[in-house]
């Protein structure tokens, strides 16, 4: 156990605890997003925002653990990230495809209705070309 320690003689368990909490929160938000999508409900922006923020928290806790606890917090954070993002992968990919299609339809409608300034139209056409 002594070889696993980084800074001191005692293991700091607090980052490990927060890594577990952050992982569970990301997984719960992922399950909520999938549940709403499967029921054909619109996923609220707050759910998407919380999912993103909890993912950022997971990254920050991993970095905090790397600095304050030991070197092995980095691989543990990577493993946690992949384990949390593995469930419902196909559903989340279809959700992303649905969002991309909805944005493309909105962009095409805005172009057809000529509601954009020339600068906005140029930026929109560039974005649509890069998405192909």
Per-residue pLDDT of the chain (132 residues; tens, 9 = 90+): 455 555 555 677 899 999 999 999 999 999 998 898 888 778 898 998 999 999 999 999 999 998 888 888 999 999 999 999 998 888 888 878 887 888 778 877 877 787 778 887 787 777 777 766
CB 25 within 8 A of CB 59: no
Rounded to whole angstroms, what are the CA distances from 85 to 33, 80, 131? Answer: 12, 9, 24
Q: How much is the pTM?
A: 0.70
112-120 contacts at long range (C-beta below 8 A, 24 or more positions apart): none
End-to-end Cα spacing for the chain: 52
Which DSSP string corresponds to 6-44?
A: SSSSS---HHHHHHHHHHHHHHHHHHHHHHHHHTTPPPP
């Amino acid at each position: 156990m002594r070889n696993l320690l980084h800074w001191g003689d005692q293991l700091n368990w607090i980052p490990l605890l927060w890594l577990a909490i952050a992982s569970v929160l990301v997984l719960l938000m992922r399950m909520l997003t999938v549940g709403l999508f499967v029921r054909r409900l619109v996923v609220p922006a707050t759910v998407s925002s919380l999912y993103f923020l909890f993912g950022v928290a997971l990254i920050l806790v991993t970095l905090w653990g790397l600095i304050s606890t030991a070197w092995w917090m980095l691989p543990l954070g990577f493993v946690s990230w992949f384990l949390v993002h593995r469930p419902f992968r196909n559903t989340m990919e279809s959700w992303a495809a649905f969002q991309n299609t909805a944005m493309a339809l909105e962009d095409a409608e805005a172009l057809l209705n000529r509601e954009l300034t020339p600068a906005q139209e140029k930026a929109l056409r560039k974005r649509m070309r890069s998405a192909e």
